[in-house]
Amino acid sequence: MRLAGGGLIDRGLPLRFRFDGRDIDAYQGDTVASALIAAGVRMVGRSFKYHRPRGIVTAGSEEPNALVTVGEGAAREPNVRATVQEVFNGLEVRSQNAWPSLRWDAMSVNDALAPMLAAGFYYKTFMWPRAFWEGLYEPVIRRAAGLGALSGEADPGRSETAFAFCDLLVIGGGPAGLMAALTAAEAGADVILADEDDRMGGRLLAVREEVDGKPGAEWAKGAVTRLAAMPNVRLMTRTTVTGAYDQGTFGALERVQRHRAQGLRDCFWRIAAKQAVLCAGALERGIAFPDNDRPGIMMAGAVQAYANRWAALPGQRVVLFGNNDSLYDVASDLVDAGADPAVYDSRAEPERAAEGQPFAVHAGAQVVGTTGRRGLERVRIATVRGLREVRADCLCVSGGWNPAVHLTCHMNGRPVWDEAIQSFIPQEDAIPGMRVAGAAGGVFSTAGCLASGFEAAKGALDALAKRVVPVAVPRARDGHYRISPLWVVEGPGRAWLDQQNDVTVKDVRLAAQENFTSVEHMKRYTTQGMAPDQGKGSNVLALAVLADATGRGIPETGTTTFRPPYVPVPIAAMGAGGRGHGFAPERFTTSHRASVARGAPMIEAGLWYRPSYFPVAGETTWRESCDREVRMVREAVGICDVSTLGKIDVQGPDAAAFLDFLYCNLMSEVGAGRVRYGLMLREDGFVMDDGTCARLGEGHYLVTTTTAAAGQVMRYMEFAAQVLRPDLNVRFASVTDQWAQFAVAGPRSREVLESLTGPVDLPFMACAPVEMCGVAGRLFRISFSGEHSYEIAVPSRYGDALFRLLVAQSEGLGGGAYGMEALNVLRIEKGFLTHAELHGRTTAFDLGLGRMVSDKKECIGKVMAARPGLNGPEREHLVGLRPLAEDGRLLAGAHLFAEGAEAIRENSAGYVTSAGYSPTFGHDLALGFLADGRARHGEVIEMVDHLRDVRTVCEVTGPVFFDPEGGRMRG
């Protein structure tokens, strides 16, 4: 089926690849689809639901059927569109959704069961008996679902992400896009021209039209050459703009080297553009008639593209069926390619039929059925003279053209119905700064596309305040696009809409009959438009069917919501750089490298990575390291990176009043150079977070938060300033990343500091500026360990050097670095809180901090915290727990029961929030909440953990185990 001459393929570079184990010859420039057509392969896959034979339908990224798996082993990738994948030597391609083979598929029995598998059948069928769902229904459905399969191994392919900036982004390299790019580039604008094809030209590569007296493809090549020579232009082929976002940001997927055996696969671009012009073209749609899904039935424009661009003829005996004038150009090109076409035009008196065509034209005709199981063999046609049947190996269908409006809808814009072209066109100004040109705007002539591209670029240049340089618009064919609506041909047999998901006209009508009359409800009930092609070729057709079934017009029926991405985007491209990492972003402290170099395992803590412990020679378990680090802090000195604590700089004449409003205790009374512990309540009266507030000067405060709540507190403050107290003159900013901060804790902490700063004389809960080695910083006398302790902060660029220096100095005094495990044990011994206790269900009263709620002022949450039921003995109070037996285990998450009570849910009196082994006391310690706990100190209760099968008898104590008078940290 390869034509002897013509096309844009390079016949001097023959290639060979394999499809289902069969060698296929191709040329440089072929796609998998064009090469298969040239090789006479018509069936390329099976449909999702009924496993019906499926063939190639289109020639672009809108392809619904020709999804294949490429590659082998770990590099295997499913659901690649054969119409987009370029051929290279050694490419392995396999069909999908068929077993044991594409020709003989066992699951094709589903097609015979179609009457029982109508739309929504699973909603009705799998409801009873209830017990069957998890054991039978769901496993069977999941095994049957899906198309291609991943290898299950780590993909060795590489992808990357990149950023680009421009004055004008032109989306689409067809005649409109090329004209827009040329116009803007000549005016000196920085231009990015992105096109999803491997070569630019758009529809000019598929049709035989002249532009400025040259073949369209040749003119496009010249325009691209001209643009490539300009320093202010970036040409991006194989790049699909996938989404439009706020403030002129666009996502784009570049298939970098998927046309080669090796190399970088994809690059996901984030493009920031001051202006944009959408020239994405239009997508041809089909007509729903009985048995319209057989291999060999294709879009007419796709057949024209395969013949003209790839010199591959899908058939010799070709029937063309449609309702618009584009049929005649296709038929004319097929005649020149050596085929024998016949046009069956549904319109009674088409104007082009009277022009004297070199092929048969039958007006007022409709295709009412086809035959041929694995490929088209015959077509049944109803004409004015009656029913006739003709032999055909290719049926070209054209139900009209849909402008590619998708990107214009990504910010909630809705397209507008255009009666003249019987399709939707973009809503004006749907995307700020974006203009639409060419077929994407409903302009269906080459001359019109060129002119609209020029005008769109002029508008963008005006918005950019750039002077337009006169550019001559090339001469090209013009003409009126004529179409008469035809959506469905009635007749016996199933008429298919969404071929990928096996959705028929009957399914949509059934949805309407069952009152799923909203387009969004119909979509979900039938799965119409939910396949990988997102209904690009079937959505408008399905809307027309739904409109007819509900007695509404198409505009009143509306469209479904178009969302990014426009084409499937591999997760590996969006997450490039994250191989081997979790989905959440990683944040590293300035001491990260130094900690890793010391062998510290890193753990996640509030999106940060922090050292768990610092092992030394001879230690084989984390407990050994943790116990040593706790003793080190208690007996000498330890260094801990606490940079992850949220830090918010608050300034302004009303800063004190603002902080009084936020905190339940008074911050306006804090003197300059002093620090106060504070508690923030939510509006419902429950505790949100705790932290410190340091007054650095007049109207200048530094607020710290817990690591986990840094973002939450910042949002809370923004809300309070903008909504609750807009009258206050205050400004604040997060400075968490600007300062590296380190705790220096232990009896010898002052010695470490003075070795770097000189004499230190700072009282407890005070702060002061400090200088070390010529670097200005801040020093705070606060403690999270119960020891004499300091926290020293320097600009982040000095953090790594300071950490290494502090650790070296402390090691000379018998100390060293300590990690999160020791930090947790130290704070449990001292009864300090983390979000294990501040979990959103506790009040200041529960925590024993009720006196911190000041009666001298109002604050957020104060009134609600005083509600009945939030204060009193019925509440669960914070308590400490110690086992009666020295080897007794205490476990976080366990429940507490009165001694002798049955350990069931109804008898639970509380729970454990934090627990760990204390080398200071020689046994486990825990914090938890116990009903009326403050009145039960000294009582014996039982801790029960059913999950880990642990029961421990323990004593209720106060939450502060170590140095309850606080002499060590205040001294």
pLDDT of 185 reads 97
What is the Cα 718 distance to its own chain's centre?
Answer: 27
Check which CATH number belongs to the domain holding 455 and give it.
Answer: 3.50.50.60
Structure tokens at 425: 């066109």
Mean pLDDT, rounded, of the chain: 94
**The CATH number of the domain where 953 resides is what?**
2.40.30.110
Q: Which residue has the higher pLDDT, 578 or 406?
A: 406
Q: What is the CATH number of the domain that holds 71?
A: 3.10.20.440
CA–CA separation, 929 and 939 (whole Å): 14
Average pLDDT for residues 932-947, to the nearest whole number? 97
Asked if residue 920 belongs to a domain, the reply is yes
**pLDDT of 352 strictly over 90:** no
Position 120 scores a pLDDT of 74
Is residue 173 domain-shared with residue 277, that is, in the same domain?
yes
Mean of the pLDDT values across residues 930-951?
97
Q: Is residue 546 part of a domain?
A: no
pLDDT band at 114 (very low <50, low <70, confident <90, very high): confident
**Which residue bears the tokens 């991943």?**
150
Look at residue 834 in the predicted model and tell me its pLDDT: 94
User: Does 752 lie in the same domain as 620?
Assistant: yes
- Whether the CB-CB separation of 833 and 655 falls below 8 Å is answered with no
Are 726 and 780 within one domain?
no
Question: What is the structure's pLDDT at 684?
Answer: 96
CATH code of the domain containing 662: 3.30.70.1400
Q: Is the pLDDT of residue 485 over 90?
A: yes
- Boundary-marking domain end, from 827, 853, 888: 827
The CA distance from 653 to 676, in Å, is: 20
Is the pLDDT reported for residue 27 higher than 90?
yes
Contact 253, 209 (CB under 8 A): no
Query: Is 760 found in the same domain as 730?
Result: no
Which backbone phi and psi does 546 adopt, to 5 degrees?
-65, -40
| Helix-then-strand count for the chain, H and E | 24, 50
CATH number reported for the structural domain that contains residue 629 in this entry: 3.30.1360.120
pLDDT at 63 over 90: yes
- Cβ–Cβ under 8 Å, residues 707 and 646: yes
State residue 463's pLDDT score: 96
Burial class for 835, CB neighbours closer than 10 Å (0-12, 13-18, 19+): middle
Beta-carbon contacts of residue 790 (< 8 Å; ≥ 6 apart): 743, 744, 745, 749, 750, 753, 760, 762, 779, 780, 781, 782
330 phi and psi angles, rounded to 5 deg: -65, -50
> What distance in Å separates the CA atoms of residue 418 and residue 443, rounded to the nearest whole number?
11
To the nearest 10°, report the CA torsion of 116, 122, 127, 132. 90
Q: Would the pTM count as exceeding 0.85?
A: no
Is residue 630 located within the same domain as residue 675?
no
Regarding whether 422 and 341 lie in a shared domain, the answer is no
End-to-end alpha carbon distance in the chain? 93
3-state SS, 906-928, equals HHCCEEEEEEEEECCCCEEEEEE
Domain-located, residue 325? yes
787-821 pLDDT, tens digit each: 999 999 999 999 999 999 999 999 999 999 999 99
What is the average per-residue pLDDT within 20-40?
96
Which pLDDT score is estimated for 151?
84
**Which pLDDT value is given to residue 602?**
95
In this structure, are 294 and 363 located in the same domain? Answer: yes
Q: Could you tell me if 692 and 629 lie in one domain? A: no
Label residue 366 by pLDDT band (50, 70, 90): very high
Please name the residues in contact with 412: beta carbons below 8 A apart, sequence gap of 6 or more.
none
Residues 255-279, mean pLDDT to the nearest whole number? 95
- 117, two tokens: 């598998």
pLDDT of residue 176: 97
| pLDDT of 695 strictly over 90 | yes
| Mean pLDDT value of segment 392-409 | 96
CA angle, corner 661, sides to 656 and 665, nearest 5? 85
Residues 17 and 116 in one domain: yes
Q: Tens digits of per-residue pLDDT, 753-786?
A: 999 999 999 999 999 999 998 999 999 999 999 9
Alpha-carbon dihedral sign for residues 631, 633, 636, 638:
positive
* pLDDT at 126 > cutoff 90: no
Q: Quick one: pLDDT at residue 533?
A: 85
CA distance 277 to 913: 57
Q: What percent of the chain has pLDDT over 90?
A: 85
Lowest mean pLDDT segment, chosen from 274-283, 406-415, 578-587, 913-922: 578-587
pLDDT at 121 over 90: no
Q: Is residue 297 part of a domain?
A: yes
Counted domains in the chain? 6
SS3 category, 166? strand
Same domain for 270 and 336, yes or no, is: no
In this structure, the answer to whether residues 343 and 290 fall within a common structural domain is yes
Taking the C-alpha atoms of residue 24 and residue 26, their distance in angstroms, rounded to an integer, is: 7
Residue where a domain stops, chosen among 368, 383, 399: 399
DSSP per-residue string spanning 63-99 = -SS-EEEES-GGG-EEEEETTTPBP-TT-EEE--S-S
DSSP summary character for residue 332: H
Q: Does the structure show a pLDDT above 90 at 356?
A: no
Q: Is the peptide bond before 129 cis (omega within 30 degrees of 0)?
A: yes
Q: Is residue 574, in this structure, part of any structural domain at all?
A: no
Dump pLDDT digits (tens) for 885-936.
999 999 999 999 999 999 999 999 999 999 999 999 999 999 999 999 999 9
Domain span including residue 705: 646-736
Same domain, residue pair 173 and 246: yes
Query: Is residue 495 one of the residues assigned to a domain?
Result: no
Structure confidence at residue 501 as a pLDDT band (50, 70, 90)? confident
User: With 80 as the cut, is the pLDDT of residue 584 above it?
Assistant: no
The verdict on residue 853 lying in a domain is: no
pLDDT in tens, 835-864: 999 999 999 999 999 999 999 999 999 999
**Of 736, 763, 788, at which residue does a domain stop?**
736
| φ, ψ of residue 904 in degrees (nearest 5) | -125, 165
pLDDT reading at 125 higher than 80: no
Span 551-562, average pLDDT: 90
Please tell me the total number of residues recorded for the chain in this structure. 971
Q: What is the reported pLDDT for 8?
A: 95
* Residue 247 lies inside a defined structural domain of this protein: yes
